[in-house]
Structure 1
Amino acid sequence: MATIKDVAREAGVSVATVSRVINQSPKAGKSSIEAVTKAMKKLGYRPNATARALVSQSSNTVGVLVGDVSDPFFGTMVKAVDNVARQNGKHILIGHGYHNAQDERQALELLINNRCDALVVHAKGLSDEELCSYAQEVKGLVLINRHIEQIADRCISLDNFKGAYLATEFLIRHGHRHIACISSNHDIEDADARIQGYRAALLAHDIHLPETYIARGTPDSEGGEAAMTELLTKSVTMTGLVTYNDNMAAGVISVAQENGIPVPDKLSIVGFDDGLIARYLSPRLTTIRYPIEMMAEHAATLALQLAKDAPQPAGATMRFTPTVVRRDSVTRVG
């Protein structure tokens, strides 16, 4: 494999000159550019991306840390960041954290060591203190779906409490009073905030239900199936149900149908996220819209602005508001 020294020898110039040509330095003369380019083509030399980054202090990449890109939620997030990156002449590197502190830490270190120009970080396992430390180290780091007061101007988040409140209240306004809640079993603030929102909506309408009305599972269709099975096994009387996300709602609908419980005639369901699956379930799923695409685009734009010390626009939205998307999985009772 050809080296930079081989290119310099073939072109009849110094290694420093080759380096200037590779890094598009204005000090590189036209004749040097032509000679080096010709030599690189002849030898099949490809500049090392890491070496170029060390010289230019830029890798032309945007780092993205997600929970698991196989989840459609994170797939949408990554696609939105990639769109912004490409508009700015950059590409993305993706790290997976799986909501685990050690995995998130390793992925972040890898992205930082690859000298990403900016970082969009979805992290649930790392502590506030550690994320603040990373933010001090990387000026172009922006958190998404998390709010830390010390770095609030670099946090793009959603009001999860309000989202669950809206979901529960939507059922209450349709006459439901026996409303169960299926949540994620991950120890993250999203799950806590949504359970709090569910409870607050019940309390606001003078509805008091025991803890048996709350079940938890992995935030996917299998977890929804398991949590729904748990509620049925405990003989919980319910006419309405709010779920942590649309994938869990899909699992709930499957178990309900298997047990002869028609949706929405006997059980009304509200999901969360408004992912693609919500439009293709039967019945089509009423859900809470999580504007992750808009949030990710905003986070990527902000990260790139911070990376080049550009001023942030006044009045920029940092905390987004969820909304109800009405479809066919909720009916009125009473």
Structure 2
Amino acid sequence: MASIKEVAALAGVNRSTVSRIINGEGSFRSDTKRRVEEAMAQLDYRPSAIARSLAKSHSNMIGLMVTYYTGGFFGQMMNQVQLELDVQNKFLLTAQGHHSADGEKKAIEKFKDLRCDGFILHSRYLSDEELIALSKTKTPFVLLDRYIEEIKQQCVTFDHQKASALATSYLLERGHTNIGCITGPLGRVSSQIRLTGYKNAIAEKGIALNPDYIVEGDYELDSGYEAMAQLMSLEQKPTALFSTGEEMTRGIMKYCYEHQIRCPEDISIISYDSVNSCRGLYPQVTTLDFPISDMAHEAVLLLNAQLKDQSSEQGQLSVSPRIQEGNSVINRA
């Protein structure tokens, strides 16, 4: 690979001249600039992006940290952020948090070492205090799908409480009063928020909450299967079910198939579905769809504002879900 020294020698100029032309600094005679550009082309010289960032104090690189690469949500998020950055001629650098606070710290350090201009973080394991401390270092970053009051102006979230209330109300409006809810791990704030939306919708209708109808899962297929088995063992079974995770819904539908439970005749189902993974199920499940493209767009806009030192004083940006009707809910009204 050619070096800047070789380019300078071929063009008949010194290395500092080549460096300044590459970085767009200063003005030069047209023939000098032409000789340098021709030498670069002849030698197939490609300037180091990192070296240029050192000279310019910005790299045009944005770091995106996700929990892991294999999840449908994270794959779509990476794709949508990349599309947003392509329009701005910026580069995307990704890293995984590997389901641990240590993994998330290493990802952020990687972004710093490679001089990313800013970060978009989907952090599940770093504490609120650690993320607040990061904000105090003046490092530009946006937090995805998580709300922290002290840095709310850096948060872009899905409105999970509204989503859960919307799903539960959809069932209530169709005459269902015995409604089960399969949650995610209740040790997570996001799972508690989803459960709160369900409870609020039930309470607003003046219906007594049945704690037996609330079953904790872990967002994985097997937990949906096991939770459905628990609900079906009740003497008074629910006529409708709200699943807060699409993989759990796949487990629910598997249980129904294996035990000859008809949907929606025997039980109606509405589900979270952030990545359209419920579309292959039969019957077609009525879902809460979350516009990942909207979240990516808002995150990039918010980060750009920070990079331009145009910090917002407003609260967090919240992206609302939409109900996509399928054939899994029967009207009993």
CA distance in 1, matches of 2:248, 2:288: 13
Whether 2:324 is the aligned partner of 1:322: answer no
Question: 1:168 maps to what in 2?
Answer: 168
Letter in 2 for 1:71: G
SS of 2:147's partner is coil
Query: Structure 2 unaligned runs (5+)?
Result: none
Mark the CA change 1:207 to 1:323 in structure 2 (over 3 Å): closer, same or farther. Answer: farther
Please tell me the root mean square deviation across aligned C-alpha atoms, in Å: 2.6
CA distance in structure 2 between the partners assigned to 1:2 and 1:16 by the alignment: 16
- Name the SS of the counterpart of 2:68 in structure 1: coil
Closer, same or farther in 2 for the Cα pair 1:316/1:128, shift >3 Å? closer
1:165, distance to aligned residue in structure 2 (A): 1.9
Distance in 1 between residues matched to 2:213 and 2:168, nearest whole Å: 16
Q: Secondary structure at the match of 1:167?
A: helix
Do residues 238 (structure 1) and 231 (structure 2) align?
A: no
Q: Does structure 1 residue 281 correspond to structure 2 residue 281?
A: yes
Partners of 2:176 and 2:99 lie apart in 1 by 34
Which string of whole-angstrom CA distances, capped at 9 and with x for unpartnered residues, describes residues 170-213 of structure 1? Answer: 22232323322222237432111112222333333322313463
How far apart in 1 are the matches of 2:10 and 2:168? 72
Specify the SS of the correspondent of 2:300. helix
The match for 1:86 is 86
Task: Show the counterpart of 2:257.
Answer: 257
Report the alpha carbon displacement of residue 311 of structure 1 after superposing the two structures with TM.
Answer: 6.4
Q: Which TM-score applies when normalising by structure 1? A: 0.88
Using the aligned pairs only, state the percent identity. 32
Q: How does 1:1-334 map to 2 (within 5 A)?
A: 1-185=1-185, 187-204=187-204, 205-211=206-212, 213-217=214-218, 219-232=219-232, 237-310=237-310, 318-333=317-332
Q: Which SS does the other structure have where 1:24 is aligned?
A: coil
Task: Output the amino acid matched with 2:66.
Answer: V
The Cα of 1:315 is off from its aligned counterpart by 7.4
Shift of 1:305: 2.0
Instruction: Tell me whether 145-154 or 201-210 shows the greater mean CA deviation.
Output: 201-210
Judge conservation of contact 1:213–1:236 (CA < 8 Å) in 2.
no
Deviates more, 1:300-309 or 1:240-249: 240-249
Distance in 2 (CA, whole Å) between partners of 1:186 and 1:9 is: 66
SS in 2 for 1:271: strand
The whole-number CA distance in structure 2 between the counterparts of 1:36 and 1:228 is 70
Structure 1 position 274, deviation (Å): 4.9
d(CA) in 2 for partners of 1:94 and 1:235?
50
Q: Over residues 255-280 of structure 1, what are the superposed CA-to-partner deviations in whole Å (9 max), with x where a residue is unaligned?
A: 21111111111111111135323344
| Structure 1 residue 231, shift from structure 2 partner | 4.2
Contact in 2 for aligned 1:58/1:117 (Cα 8 Å):
yes
Residues 58, 281 of structure 1: alpha-carbon distance in 2 compared, 3 angstrom cutoff: same
Query: Aligned partner of 1:240: which letter?
Result: A
TM-score (norm 2): 0.88
Bigger shift: residues 183-192 or 46-55: 183-192
Cα distance, 1:294 vs. partner?
Answer: 0.8
Cα deviations by residue, 1:28-69 (Å, 9 ceiling, x for unpaired): 443333233333333333222211111112221222122233
